[in-house]
Amino acid sequence: MGIQITPSILTADFADLGAELARIPSSDWIHVDVMDNHFVPNLTFGPRTIEALSNATSRPIDAHLMITDADRNAAAYVEAGAASVTFHVEAATAPVRLAREIRSAGARASMALRPATPVDPYEDLLPELDMVLIMTVEPGFGGQKFLDLCLPKIRRARELMDKHGVETWLQVDGGVSLETIERCAEAGADVFVAGSAVFDAEDPDAMIAALREKATGAADRA
């Protein structure tokens, strides 16, 4: 599968998202942070934004649901065109059922964990998931500083995936930059969400290439 770079539009220009997507043609996915002002203290996008973006680009949409009622609402994001839907395990009543529903609807199912949520209690869920997202900042706002304390959890998640022989992707989100991506890749992550690092760059697509090069080199050394 290799290294994948997934820019988050949370720090893009909301007034012209079509033009912003045109600035990142080499991105593997488009990451959309869905916030409900309940699970996190911010309010952003809904299914209509997912639908508009999926119609505006051929790249797959990665919908990260930071919402309280993921069990009831996740299906709407698949219907809107998301190719991958991530729910927070802290907000899911029945995570196995939810993952299966997302998969049966035709999307990849991903489970996210906040920085303080350990991964070991969810080891048995790994075969039900296409991706695990380790948050490396507290979810809710872009531009936060990377939390190094999450690196052992990234390593542990990779150990558990290797133990079970699953092909689950390991994504990190929060403070990913040229200064931090190598540490994440060395710890075992292979999918990287980057917001400010990409959209604040003079050349966002060149930044994607630089991030990919750094992560690939670190993964090869590991």
Q: Which residues are catalytic?
A: 33, 173
Taking CA 88 as the corner, what is the angle to CA 84 and CA 90, rounded to the nearest 5 degrees?
165
- Cβ neighbours for 98, distance < 8 A, ≥ 6 positions apart: 70, 71, 74, 87, 92, 109
Contact 132, 111 (CB under 8 A): yes
Residue whose tokens read 């994001």: 77
Contact 83, 109 (CB under 8 A): no
Contact 154, 12 (CB under 8 A): no
Q: What share of the chain is helix, strand, coil (3-state, %, to 5)?
A: 45, 20, 35
Residue whose tokens read 């699953």: 166
H or E element that contains 10: none
Give the integer Cα–Cα distance in Å for 31 and 185. Answer: 19
Contact 166, 190 (CB under 8 A): no
Q: What is the DSSP letter of 92?
A: -
